[in-house]
Amino acid sequence: MSMVQRLKKMRVIIALMASVWCALVLSGCSSTSDPNAGSGYRFPGDGAAPQAPLPTMQSTVLRVNDMITVTFSDVPNPPGLQEIRARIPASGVLTLHYNVQVSAVGKTIPELEREIRDAYVPKLFKQLTAIVRSEERFFFVGGEVKTPNRYPLQADLTVLRAIDAAGSFTDFANRKKIELRRENGQRFFINESKAKENPALDLPVLANDHIIVKRSIW
């Protein structure tokens, strides 16, 4: 076999080896690629924990002590109906114009708006639109917590969860006598370990509550 023929044969062999190598690489890439790439789906454990939607003022239920404003429209003008700004009382029942009473506690804002309309229409007016606004609600955590501050109130918040929101206890905290002060002057005391054993002792946090963690004497 001549030198030229040997070179041609070697070129053919090299070309075949290169094509086989490329085929293997492409096959490996396709088998390890994510079949859901670009779909927006993330598998559990891939580092992207699912995030629960944050509650909004429209979705959060109203509670005792919430300050709300009710505005009326689509009623005869005059006389019309004046805006009402009131704090939800302990009974949970709001008293509106013409002594109309509606239950507010446990309802979302859209639910309360519908209930107010139904209380007036068609008994008192042919039509009416109620617009309810709830002021942003806060609670306060002070004393032996890592980040004492004012915090926005979220749904289903309890005393121990509120302390977690404030960075948890300091090393000097008295966890056996956590004080909860209501806006109306009521005072409660929570023992952390007992509240963990019995969740009923972990009291709910209301608007303008003050949670005070005192320093342990030991």
Q: Indicate whether 34 belongs to any domain.
A: no
Among residues 114, 134, 154, the one where a domain terminates is 134
Q: Would you mind telling me the total number of residues written for the chain in this entry? A: 218
Q: Indicate whether 152 belongs to any domain.
A: yes
The domain in which residue 178 lies consists of 138-213
How many domains, in total, are found in the chain? 2
Among residues 134, 154, 175, the one where a domain terminates is 134
Report the chain's mean pLDDT, rounded to a whole number: 80
Q: Indicate whether 17 belongs to any domain.
A: no
pLDDT exceeds 90 at position 71: yes
Same domain, 126 and 168: no
Q: Indicate whether 31 belongs to any domain.
A: no
Residue 135 is predicted with a pLDDT of: 81
Q: Indicate whether 101 belongs to any domain.
A: yes
Same domain, 73 and 121: yes
Q: Indicate whether 176 belongs to any domain.
A: yes
DSSP character string of the chain: --HHHHHHHHHHHHHHHHHHHHHHHHHHHHHHS-TTTTS----TTSS-PPPPPPP-TTTSPP-TT-EEEEEEESS-TTT----EEEE--TT-EEE-GGG-EEE-TT--HHHHHHHHHHHHTTTT-S--EEEEEE---EEEEEESBSS-EEEE--TT-BHHHHHHHTT-B-TTB-TT-EEEE-TTS-EEEE-HHHHHH-GGGSPBP-TT-EEEEPBP--
> Which backbone phi and psi does 12 adopt, to 5 degrees?
-65, -45
Q: Indicate whether 20 belongs to any domain.
A: no
Q: Are 53 and 103 in contact (CB under 8 A)?
A: no
CATH number at residue 208: 3.10.560.10
Mind listing the pLDDT tens digit for each residue in 48-66?
333 334 444 444 688 888 8
Same domain, 118 and 142: no
Mind listing the pLDDT tens digit for each residue in 141-178?
999 999 999 998 887 899 999 999 999 999 999 999 99
Q: 204: cis peptide before it, omega within 30°?
A: no
Mind listing the pLDDT tens digit for each residue in 126-146?
999 999 998 878 899 999 999
Mind listing the pLDDT tens digit for each residue in 186-210?
999 999 999 999 999 999 998 889 9
Same domain, 203 and 157: yes
Q: What is the mean pLDDT of residues 60-79?
A: 85
Same domain, 75 and 129: yes
Among residues 134, 166, 182, the one where a domain terminates is 134
The residue to which tokens 């995030």 are assigned = 51
Same domain, 129 and 142: no
Cα of first residue to Cα of last residue in the chain, in angstroms, is 98
Higher pLDDT, 115 or 77: 115
Q: Indicate whether 173 belongs to any domain.
A: yes
